[in-house]
Amino acid sequence: MTKPVYVLNGPNLNLLGKRQPEIYGSETLEDVRNLCEAAAAETGLQVDFRQSNAEHELIDWIQEAREAASGIVINPAAYSHTSVAILDALNACDFPVIEVHISNIHKRESFRHHSFVSARAEAVIAGCGTQGYIFAVQKMAALLSGK
């Protein structure tokens, strides 16, 4: 059996749907999980969908993924802009990494314009809303099948 793609979500994304809906929309993280699972089923992938508010937990999951996953789709949320440690963990992985942001970080405050994770990601999707997760799963399937 092929290994799942880990879909990792960083801090405050547990509040999706309640938190600043004018920026992040009204869908919940559970809705996003369903979108990812449906996109994965269509492309023959399996996803392991997780969220944490803790940087160390995200790093532990990335390290776990080195053996257990075939790729990572990650919305590191605010840690995108601060965490060299998450970048280092992703740099220790040999498989594709795709970064997702629900909002267009480049249209927002200047401190959101730089993401450490982008230096490692095969693809970066921002500003497509929760649909960005579907694009990320589809792109991951294409990368893993060599297309």
Provide the edge-to-edge strand list for the sheet that holds 5-9: 47-51, 5-9, 71-75, 97-101, 123-126
- Binding footprint of ligand DQA, residue count (CB under 6 A): 10
Q: In terms of CB distance, is 12 or 28 closer to ligand DQA?
A: 12
Q: How far apart (Å, rounded) are the C-alpha atoms in residues 112 and 104?
A: 9
Known active-site residue 101: yes
In whole angstroms, how close is the CB of 139 to ligand DQA at the nearest point?
17
Ranges of H-type helices in 44-116: 55-68, 84-91
**Active-site residue, selected from the candidate residues 6, 79, 101, 133:** 101
Tokens of 63: 């390290």
Binding mask 40-69 for ligand DQA (x = CB under 6 A): ------------------------------
In whole angstroms, how close is the CB of 86 to ligand DQA at the nearest point?
12
Tokens of 108: 């927002």
DSSP for residue 113: S
Binding mask 110-139 for ligand DQA (x = CB under 6 A): --x---------------------------
Tokens of 33: 């999980």
Q: How far apart (Å, rounded) are the C-alpha atoms in residues 137 and 140?
A: 5
- Residue 75 binds to ligand DQA (criterion: CB under 6 A): yes
Active site residues: 24, 101
- Contact footprint for ligand DQA (CB under 6 A): 12, 75, 77-78, 80, 101-103, 105, 112
